[in-house]
Structure formats: structure tokens, C-alpha cells
Amino acid sequence: MNKIFDSFEEILGGVFSGATIMIDGFAGPGGTPQNLIKALRENGSKNLTVISNTAGLASVIGFGTIPGVRPIDIGVLVDNKQIKKVIASYPVSPSPSRPTSFENAYKNGEVDLELVPQGTLAERIRAGGAGIPAFYTPTGVGTMVGQGKEVRVFDGRQYVLETALTADFALIKGHIADTYGNLTYRGTSRNFNGVMVSAAATSIVEVDDIVGPGEIDSYRIDTPGIFVDRIIKV
């Protein structure tokens, strides 16, 4: 099976309106698939549910950005009226004077939000990829995060039931891929990319380089190719 694509239009083929899409967005643009996000904007799919750690923070704070270059994040999809709901841990800017596109849209009632603690978000995605439907966690007990959810007591401590997260598509930023789809990541981009790629029905990956089979040492492989469906070099 050929996993290598030559154009962003082709690699996003089949992405449909109403889809649920996982997109990494941890601590700036380094692990964010900026080119795939731009291509998704051009794709024009609407009513998307986006699962991401942040809701467009990179374009506001520019953390890890090349000087003079404005990073791309899911804010461009919000601006283009493509997102109906965001599931995220950090949806707001650290600076009240510099709100994100999502914040403005949310305040105007244009997009919905499901707020999830960061560790819980990672575990919900990991559970989705592992086929685990739900799990209990003490995080969120007694807060708005736990409202309306089942609570059980184990060893005298309360735990709230959280359900797994899966997606139709995951847009992933890798560092190096081989033609089989084995991936390496760079630095902190290992965080959500690694769990999202296994929790989506179709994983779409942009990478800095593509090499031949066996050119990535086995101990350096972060994601096995079995989880990767489509690859494009940027």
C-alpha cells in the first residue's frame, strides 16, 4: 500500500463536513501540522469537531516560532467558520488583551467548547486508540468538569468516569517517516501527536523528510507505521 502523497489536496481527500478531527497544538507550532491545517482551510469542510490541546494559542503567543513568521494553528479554521465545537484543555490566551480567534468566536456563540483537563485529555485519546471505552480518574471531582458524570468511590476516594475520544481523522506533524509509515518526532511534538495517530480512523501526517525502509533505526521509531495511513513531505 502506497502511503506517500504528492499534494495536500489529494492527501485530504475524503475529509468531510461534520467530521471529528484531532490536531496537535502543544506549546507552539513545532508539533502542529501547519501545512495540513492550511490545506484543510482550502478544503472547506464545515461543522467540524476539533480535538486539540489548545484552541489556537500559537498564533497569539508565537512560542517557538521563527522570527518574522506568523504560525498557523486552528484559529484559521475558526476564522473561516469551519469549526462547530472544540474539545481542548487550554482554549484561552494567557494575555486578556490578545484573545485567540476561538475566544472571540466562543464569546459570540459561534462555536462550542468542551473543556478537559490536560492529563485527562491525553488519557481519553490514549484510551480511544487502545480500544478502552472509559476509565475513572479523580481529576475533576467536585468541579464543573465532573458535573453530570458518573462518580464512584474506590478505597475511600471519589473518581469520575471519563469516556474515550476517537476521531475520523488525525492531522499529525512528524519529523521523519519511512515509506512504511514509521514515524519519528522532534522534541515536545511527541506529546499529543503520538496518541492521536492511533485514535483516528485515518491518520494524515506531514513530515520534514521521507526515507526508505530500514533507514530509521528501530529504537528511534516513535509511532509504528501500522497507525499511519497517509504521508506528505513538506
Using the structure block, give the residue that is written with the C-alpha cell 484573545: 99
Residue 97: per-residue pLDDT: 80
Q: What is the pLDDT of residues 61-110, one digit of tens each?
A: 665 555 566 778 899 999 999 999 999 998 888 878 888 899 999 999 99
Residue 86 lies in a domain: yes
Residue 1 lies in a domain: no
Phi first, then psi: give them for residue 208, nearest 5 degrees.
Answer: -80, -25
- CATH number of the domain encompassing residue 36: 3.40.1080.10
Q: What is the pLDDT of residues 171-213, one digit of tens each?
A: 999 999 999 999 999 887 888 999 999 999 999 999 999 999 9
Residue 63: per-residue pLDDT: 57
Residue 167 lies in a domain: yes
Residue 2 lies in a domain: no
Residue 97 lies in a domain: yes
Residue 31 lies in a domain: yes
Residue 21: per-residue pLDDT: 98
For the entire predicted model, the pTM comes to 0.93
Compute the distance between CA of residue 31 and CA of residue 65 in angstroms, rounded to an integer. 11
Q: What is the mean pLDDT of the chain?
A: 92
Range of the domain at 65: 8-233
Number of domains in the chain: 1
Residue 229 lies in a domain: yes
Residue 54's pLDDT band (cuts 50, 70, 90): confident
Residue 78 lies in a domain: yes
